Copies of this chain bind each other. A is one copy, B any other.
Amino acid sequence: MGRPPAKSPGKPLAGSLDRGLLPSLLGYGLRRTQSAVFADFAATFAHAGEALTPGEFGLLVLVERNAGLSQMALARALGIDRSTLVPILDRLQARDLLVRHRSPTDGRTHALALTPFGRKALARFGRLVRAHEKRILSGLSAAETRTLIELLEKVRVSARPL
């Protein structure tokens, strides 16, 4: 069988693997960057003694800015199933960050809102997120940052609708 010129057999060099075409793929770079950013987010919060995921932060911001919204509306905004949202809200509610009020106008829905404690916590979280963003963007100029966010949006609209 036509074998390429013999390489050192057995042990591939630690750390440096042949990634083939992967580095040229946007999807690959996106996934790796996302993973690194997520890790930086987690580290930023852990260092401050807080615990929160990017998804939870986004959810809290949405609830703060749209007080009284229903779980269905929130699930739709997050792009997840309404049944997926239930345990997430359970956890946030157990942490006293938000509450499910009964809607006075529609007995089926829950009106979501931050607790006073949740509002204070979110202000704290927001400061951590800004510090985190500042760090991951420290290698980019303001113009590059704008370009990056803009290009990501362009990609998003070209991808198939969910």
Chain A contacts to B: CB under 8 angstroms? 8-10, 12, 14-15, 17-22, 24-41, 43-44, 54-55, 58, 61-62, 64-66, 68-69, 73, 76-77, 79, 103, 105-106, 111, 126, 129, 132-133, 135-140, 144-145, 147-149, 151-162
This protein's copies in its complex: 2
Provide the main secondary structure of the chain A interface: helix
Contact B139 A155 (CB under 8 A): yes
A41 to B58, CA, bound (A): 24
- Knowing A10-B68, A12-B69 touch, does A148 contact B139 (C-beta < 8 A)? no
Does B152 contact A140, Cβ atoms closer than 8 Å? no
A62 touches B139 (CB 8 A): no
